[in-house]
Copies of this chain bind each other. A is one copy, B any other.
Amino acid sequence: MEGEDVLVLALAQRATRTQACAVMTGWEEPISYRPIGVIRSPHTDPAKCPIQPRYARGIEGRIEIDPAFEEGLDDLDGFSHVVLFFHFHRARPCRLKVVPFLDDTSRGVFATRAPSRPNPIGMSVVRLLRREGRVRYIADVDVLDGTPLLDIKPHIERFGVEGPLRCGWQEAVDEAEAERRGRREA
């Protein structure tokens, strides 16, 4: 397709989707967010980026917060872990069925953590190492360099999930295999 055709198709798809959503939610306007900062990491190749903080142990990076939001960082440094919310800016277009990194079977995208989601919001719980003005150094970073940061929340132990837990298709994934695939080693 020519560039213009692609644009027209994209706009048509967006219009259809808006209409469908409006029926369900009564929500017609897009929900617009702006980055509060950026995530810096050694990961520049999506094909080599670890898929979870668990498989990125010890890998360091930083978050650089926009000066406009610096005051919001007060009291954050008492927490050992923070939850980063970010925009998967290099995700492929949305697919409703995906083959997860840790499996070889196609799954519904909402049953996976894959980036190519209808709304490509990413979430990672990372360790907070130290502060330097508007910058926070972090560890266990599984996020691509240059990723737009949308929100930070403290990780709060008392709000944790209580069992019993069932983890669907993930329960059949061998841990050693998960570790190998999750680190994205060749």
Contacts and interface: CB of A to CB of B under 8 A. Distances in A.
A64 B20 CA distance: 13
Given A31-B32, A68-B17, A121-B33, A154 B168 contact: yes
Contacts of A162: 54
A75 interface: yes
Interface of A: 16-18, 20-21, 23-27, 30-38, 52-54, 64-69, 71-83, 85, 87, 89, 96-97, 107-113, 117-119, 121, 123, 125, 146, 148-159, 161-162, 164-171, 173, 175, 178
B150 A170 contact: no
Contacts of A109: 72
Contact of A81 (B73, B152, B165, B173): B165
A24 B37 contact: yes
A34 to B, nearest CB: 5
A175 B156 CA distance: 13
